[in-house]
Structure 1
């Protein structure tokens, strides 16, 4: 019988650091970091049928509807059936979670929960490189040159919905949509929910280390192939584990 491939999801509100956490975990685990935003941009650039549809909404200043966004993600994830992956930014709604459940069984869900007051400050300090989606925070993850992308040298922008006047409404909308998703995943033993205070870089390391322990525990129960556990065990030794409160929902 073929070994089971790791399927993991990192959930969290805007500004919670999903991308940073995913990059560190994926690199250490030997996983593919799948970004929902990147998939959407690639489909738009490629003028795929669903990309053209999504672009029509964005050009009008509208959010991409749930059914269109889900179609993008399911199409891309079906191409990754033979690869281990860590998914960032999807699912965001109950409908998306149910659609994801039709094509794969998740092994691990990590939910990053940060006080909304902290998120307001963080989002207001966030700037992005629009072409790639790279995100910078002027307080703890600034670009090497102010206002300029580290890789391309192109200018950074601040999204309209990251500006202070838009952040509160954006976070309220996320909370309303995310609640039924987390209620669904709390019924699943593969959920590790993490609460944090303090700086993101330290927490990212802490999240990686705790996820390593979860994956190794799953391996010992025969749920994951040995290679995943070995990647986790070897790859995370160099991370500094930050001190601070961390509450977890234990595995069943």
Structure 2
């Protein structure tokens, strides 16, 4: 978890590789569908470009479909999900039905102004239409209002691992690995 641009996608692959599980990014799934102009892509394109979240039910359906794939049987890493309490409750129910549970929730923290600069730089390099300053700031507001409160829930559940997301990719990755290693029995 973390605000847009905090490094979730960058760190997700390394974390998934370390534990031998697939990294599942809802953002990547949405962008793939938008690029290929699938019915889902057409449905969510305007929502994402406005800086809003895709409706919970749509996102939950996509995540459940992906988690049913065979490569997720030994475990998985979710990147960009859950983002609302509705999605948290959905995930809790889904995992309980599967006889599974979360091991940890990693949250990357970065100064909001540094994130705006990071995202504007990424938009320029990658040509991402959803990363203009107005949309970025709107996404930050949406994150603060809808997603940040989930951190308290996961902290109460004893699952939250907070990581300083400032510094080089390698520095952040090592801090994340060290903190997760401390949790292992």
Structure 2 matches for 1:68-83, cutoff 5 A?
68-80=58-70, 82-83=73-74
2:86 alignment partner, one of 67, 70, 95 = 95
Q: How does 1:109-128 map to 2 (within 5 A)?
A: 109-127=105-123
Structure with greater strand share of residues:
1
Give, in angstroms, the shift of residue 108 of structure 1: 0.7
Q: Secondary structure at the match of 2:3?
A: coil
Total equivalences in the alignment: 174
CA spacing shift, 1:168–1:55, aligned 2, 3 Å:
same
Kept in 1, the 8 Å contact 2:120–2:132? The answer is: yes
Equivalent position SS for 2:47: coil
1:21 aligns with 2:11: yes
* Large movers: runs of 4+ above 4 Å: 41-47
* 8 Å CA contact 1:39, 1:76 repeated in 2: no
Deviations 1:82-111 (A, max 9, x none): 222111110011111110111212111111
Contact 1:91 1:97 in 2 (8 A): yes
Structure 1 vs Structure 2 CA RMSD: 2.5
Q: Of the candidates 103, 124, 133, which is equivalent to residue 107 of structure 1? A: 103
Q: Which structure would you say has the larger RCO, counting Cα contacts within 8 Å and 6 or more residues apart?
A: 2
How far residue 24 of structure 1 moved from its aligned partner, in angstroms, is 1.2
* Gaps in structure 2 of 5+ consecutive residues: 49-53, 96-100
Q: TM-score, normalised by structure 1?
A: 0.61
Report the secondary structure of 1:177's partner residue. helix
1:55 aligns with 2:41: yes
Given that 1:20 and 1:204 are in contact with CA atoms closer than 8 Å, whether structure 2 keeps it comes out as no
Which residue in the other structure is 2:135 paired with?
166
* Inter-partner Cα distance in structure 2 for 1:39 and 1:200: 23
Please say which structure displays the higher CA radius of gyration: 1
CA 1:38 to 1:170, structure 2 compared with 1: closer, same or farther past 3 Å? closer
Contact persistence 2:116–2:137 (CA under 8 A): yes
Unaligned 5+ runs, structure 1: 1-10, 128-137, 139-146, 148-155, 221-252
